[in-house]
Amino acid sequence: MATSATLAEANAAADDAAREARAEVLQRARAEDESGEPKISRGTARASTSDKEWHKFVIDVWLTDLNPTEFGVYKRHRNRARSRQFTQDMDIYADVIENGQRTGLMGYRKTPWKENTGMDRRLIFKLFTKSMGWKATMDLMVGRSLQLTMGARGLPVTAFSINTDDDDYIIYLERSAFKWPFLPEHFSFFLMRDGNPEYYRLQRAYINVGGDYTLYDQNNNKIGYVDGKILSLAGKWKCGVKSEYADKKLLTTMKLFAGMIIFNRGARWHMWRLWKEVLSGKLKPTLEHQEADLYKNPRRVR
């Protein structure tokens, strides 16, 4: 049984915690009232107190391969039966969480990235529903990336293609070659809507530890954010898009981009090494046949 002295100490600690929490809430409220906009920290647009203003989601990367979705031979075969996009070497590595519920899963093909070498080493991401229905695929285009890296004289430039389940257009997401040392990187892409392109840019934060980006539209308005949590064990990104922009195309692109961040550094180093080896004559450029198919002329005679 607790003594009176222990109870008094516990009550004092509770009072201190309550005061600190109250002060934090009031400070945040004052900052938002003064700006009239969501608070921005580390160069990243933050969600406002109004949940209706933002469509939010979380990309939560697992620490190990022993995840409940694919653990065991039986489950892997069942997942392959649900979707032909779930290949033998597919590794499910992250949850997509919206409104506190799992709404999707992300995976990548381990063989092309972990076992292949040279220009056969590729990143292939896939987005699934929570029941393992295929939603989208994002490929690192090694040929295009190496072309851009050569044009940038060794600055690694990565280019990705995104193919979704219900869109007639491929989405191309690329890292900008206009990059000064110690300044943030930028990615850009455009979406086709009603036959017209709409352009977007993702800028990494100036002070960045967890992988923070701000999404801008073509008029340079801040319309979204990717907020990396530095204290997570594997990787966790809290993301949001303003509700008026948050259609399926943009949300799918943002989810795939956030899922790519954990591989971003490795992809850049891969392109830099390829550039060095091709430049020195140690590597003869080739294209893996599946990637080569992505460059074929759609108007060719078949």
122-149 per-position pLDDT tens digit: 999 999 998 889 999 999 999 999 999 9
Query: Which residue, chain included where needed, has tokens 């109870």?
Result: 7
Could you tell me which of 69, 72, 77 has the C-alpha nearest to residue 107? 69
Percent of the chain with pLDDT over 90: 60
Using the predicted structure, report yes or no on whether residue 228 has a pLDDT greater than 50: yes
pTM of the full structure: 0.78
Nearest to 160 by CA among 252, 223, 84, 222: 252
More confident residue, 172 or 298: 172
**Residue 182 CB coordination number (10 Å):** 6
End-to-end CA distance of the chain: 84
**Chain segment 276-288, per-residue pLDDT in tens:** 999 999 999 999 9
Cα–Cα distances (Å) from 95 to 39, 50, 62, 144, 261, in that order, read: 26, 24, 8, 29, 14
Round the average pLDDT of the chain to a whole number and report it. Answer: 82
CA distance 56 to 25: 21
Rounded to the nearest 10 degrees, the angle between the axes of helix 248-279 and helix 142-151 is 60
Tens of pLDDT, residue by residue over 86-100, are 888 898 999 999 989
Band of pLDDT at residue 68, cut at 50, 70 and 90: low
More confident position, 130 or 43: 130
